[in-house]
Amino acid sequence: MADTLLRLGYSVSIRSNLTKVEIESELDMFCSDARHGSSVVVAFMSHGCLGEVVGFDGESAKESKILKRISKGKRTSRKQQLVIFENCRDPGRWPKSELAFFPDMIVAHSTSPDESSYRMTDRGSRFIQCLCTVLDLFADKCDIASMVPIVNYVVQNATFNLGISQLPWWSVQTSKKFWIRVNEPPQSSRESRQQANSARNQTTNDCRVQVTELLQKMRL
């Protein structure tokens, strides 16, 4: 995910093993950062359940509060926002946030409500692999909303021998097209790609080949 965003021109900051309080604190600092451009991307990769992201301490941060922080943030409001949740959404009380109003925001969940989100030990998240590949292939051709059916199709069909069905869940509340490419890839992005280890490159290439084959079936 980081490499894909770097190639698309974003600056990337990664935080790992955050507790609930740390998630909220880091998010507040992010939303107050004056360095943001015209759009922001926030990705959560964690355990979770419907409407909640579980922190490293086992305590849960409410999805509704996360989205509200980003939507109303001092430096993130009135910008185009893509928020990605890579976590399970196992059964629970249906959160009110599903019907909340977050203008200029696109929310991408890795799976549908009441469903688990799957990953592979050697390849990582099924959804993130597919999403990044589609972004790499289509960022110059399509806005994010136009990529939604492509990502859904790929996640459904790129089973990677798991044999398990999974369908992403999206909320699109933008009033204009969200083109995710910022500018030409920065030097740091090119360097990071060159320094990536061969095993990871092979994994990415395998995913790209399978996704490309699926897209050919869609005639894309």
Residue 110, domain CATH: 3.40.50.1460
Distance CA 158, CA 82 (A): 23
**E strand or H helix that includes residue 204:** helix 198-217
CB-side exposure of 3: number of CA atoms within 13 Å?
Answer: 17
Residue, of 119 and 64, whose pLDDT is higher: 64
* Domain count within the chain: 1
pLDDT band, residue 200 (cuts 50/70/90)? very low
Distance CA 7, CA 5 (A): 5
Q: Count other Cβ atoms within 10 Å, centred on residue 189.
A: 20
Q: For residue 35, which of 66, 13, 6, 8 has the smallest C-alpha distance?
A: 13
Q: What is the pLDDT of residue 199?
A: 40
* Residue 168, burial from CB neighbour count under 10 angstroms (0-12, 13-18, 19+): buried
Q: What is the pLDDT of residue 189?
A: 47
Which domain does 180 fall in, by range?
Answer: 2-217
Distance CA 213, CA 199 (A): 21
Q: What is the pLDDT of residue 33?
A: 96
User: Looking at the predicted structure, is the pLDDT value of residue 92 above 80?
Assistant: no
pLDDT band, residue 193 (cuts 50/70/90)? very low
Q: What is the pLDDT of residue 196?
A: 43
Q: For residue 160, which of 200, 208, 112, 113 has the smallest C-alpha distance?
A: 208
Reported as a single tens digit per residue, the pLDDT across 101-158 is 788 999 999 988 878 888 776 667 889 988 998 999 899 889 999 999 999 988 888 7
